[in-house]
Amino acid sequence: MGYYERFSNRDSTPHSLFPTPYLPLDKKISIGYALPVTERLSRGGAFAQKYGPWALVTGASRGLGAEFARQLAERGLNLVLAARSGSQLERLAADLARAYGITARAAVVDLSRADLLNALRPVTDSLEVGLLVNNAGLSTVGPFLAQDADYLLGQLHTNARAALVLTRHYGSLMAARGRGGVIFLASGSALHGTPWSAHYCGTKAYNLMLAEALWAEWRPLGVDVLGFMAGLTRTPGVEANHLKPSRLVPLGSPERAVRRALKALGRAPSASDGLRNHLGYAALGLMPRSLATRVLGRSMRVMFGSRVGSRE
Ligand SMILES: NC(=O)c1ccc[n+]([C@@H]2O[C@H](COP(=O)([O-])OP(=O)(O)OC[C@H]3O[C@@H](n4cnc5c(N)ncnc54)[C@H](OP(=O)(O)O)[C@@H]3O)[C@@H](O)[C@H]2O)c1
């Protein structure tokens, strides 16, 4: 059984991180998820030189974070995998180390806590972290007033405050070395208010704006910054919100989203996940904001049904 299935308690899906039936990682590499040969030769080495030798990936225990970890290992980076679920991190670290010949460490940390750096620094202080992936995030769908105030604050701290604290700390070390990269997981919902995802889209807007501004500030320092607007992607987090599949908003694969993000790093302040998403955001951008927000509310209703309540 692959990671995605193990951690999501769902049946096998064509988008699973490691496909079922279980294949050893080294075998899987040869059947379709490997970095294309040209990329491996031309970019893999340069990528590790620019962003290595260590990458810190938050929220690496499942979903997009676990896939970032896999693709960075494929590019030869050593890994610090951070999240709360220690056993899942340990297992992923061992599997990636074995499959890709890298070194991987697990860092158990609750990123909603004010002292999050105290949990990470003992693991990372002796390492040269050249890439930070601010991936950990909580997404909740539902009426704003139905959500507990403490939960909303924890979500703010995990999605936004942690990204700020980590970027300030590891970014300053990268700037001193004159090289490195930071990826922020934003979302298309960072561009417009999205009803029934109000607080989440606010946290994602923070990530996107911080990324785009730092892209310009840190370019002269040799540090690349990217705000990546992942499209709707099949992960345990999305499935926990009981999404109804829709032809209008298809679910993408973590494998493809992460490959796009890594390709865009160093090329643009922000990137969206594929042409279809890009065109969707462009169309919304042409509308009056009141209309765009109503359109997004309708699509939330289609995708999440009764979870968004009965009144618009
Ligand atoms: N999937 C999508 O459609 C989509 C679209 C746009 C943007 N994104 C963004 O992409 C990122 C990853 O999304 P996903 O769908 O892969 O999420 P997911 O499946 O829910 O995984 C979330 C990850 O974040 C970690 N995490 C959550 N709270 C944490 C905390 N307090 N401290 C430490 N780690 C914590 C979780 O690990 P533990 O539970 O083990 O701590 C897990 O590894 C998020 O920032 C999300 O907003 C996703």
Confidence class of residue 309 from pLDDT cuts 50, 70 and 90?
A: low
Give me 290's structure tokens.
């009141």
Query: Per the residue annotation, which of 3, 4, 100, 200 is the catalytic one?
Result: 200
Q: How far is the CA of 138 from the centre of ligand 1 (A)?
A: 5
32 versus 140: which is more confidently predicted?
140
100 is an active site residue: no
Give the model confidence (pLDDT) of 87-100 as tens digits. Answer: 999 999 999 999 99
Could you tell me what percent of the chain has a pLDDT over 70?
A: 84
Q: Which residues pair with 56 in a beta bridge?
A: 80, 132
For position 51, what pLDDT does the model report?
98
Which ranges of 108-249 does DSSP label H, i.e. alpha helix?
116-124, 149-156, 162-177, 198-218, 236-239
The CATH number for 59's domain is 3.40.50.720
Q: What's the pLDDT score for residue 304?
A: 86
Mean pLDDT for the stretch of residues 182-198: 96
Per-residue tokens: 23 = 């294949």
The answer to whether residue 149 is domain-embedded is yes
pLDDT at 44: 59
Spacing, Cα 42 to ligand 1 middle (Å): 31
In a domain, 31, yes or no: no
Counting the structural domains of the chain, the total is: 1
Atom of ligand 1 nearest to the CA of 158: 31
298 in a structural domain: yes
In the annotation, is 263 catalytic? no
Question: Tell me, what's the pLDDT at 61?
Answer: 98
Q: What is the mean pLDDT of the chain?
A: 87
For residue range 50-84, list pLDDT tens digits in order.
Answer: 999 999 999 999 999 999 999 999 999 999 999 99
Q: Read off the pLDDT of each residue in 208-233 and give the average, rounded to a whole number.
A: 97
241 lines ligand 1 (CB under 6 A): no
Q: Average the pLDDT over 282-287 and give the result.
A: 94
Q: Kindly report, residue by residue over 239-272, the tens digit of the pLDDT.
A: 888 787 677 777 899 999 999 999 999 999 999 9
Q: What single DSSP character describes residue 252?
A: B
The number of residues in the chain equals 312
Instruction: Give the residue numbers spanning the domain of 302.
Output: 36-308
Q: Is 265 in the pocket of ligand 1 (CB under 6 A)?
A: no
> Do the domain assignments include residue 299?
yes
Q: Is 227 in the pocket of ligand 1 (CB under 6 A)?
A: no
Give domain status of residue 188, yes or no. yes
pLDDT for res 242 = 79
CA dihedral 72→241→274→64, nearest 10 degrees, is: 0
In a domain, 208, yes or no: yes
pTM: 0.88
Q: Is residue 232 part of a domain?
A: yes
Instruction: Collapse the DSSP code of 67 into the 3-class scheme (helix H, G, I; strand E, B; otherwise coil) and give the result.
Output: helix
Task: State the distance from the centre of ligand 1 to the C-alpha of 271, rounded, in angstroms.
Answer: 19
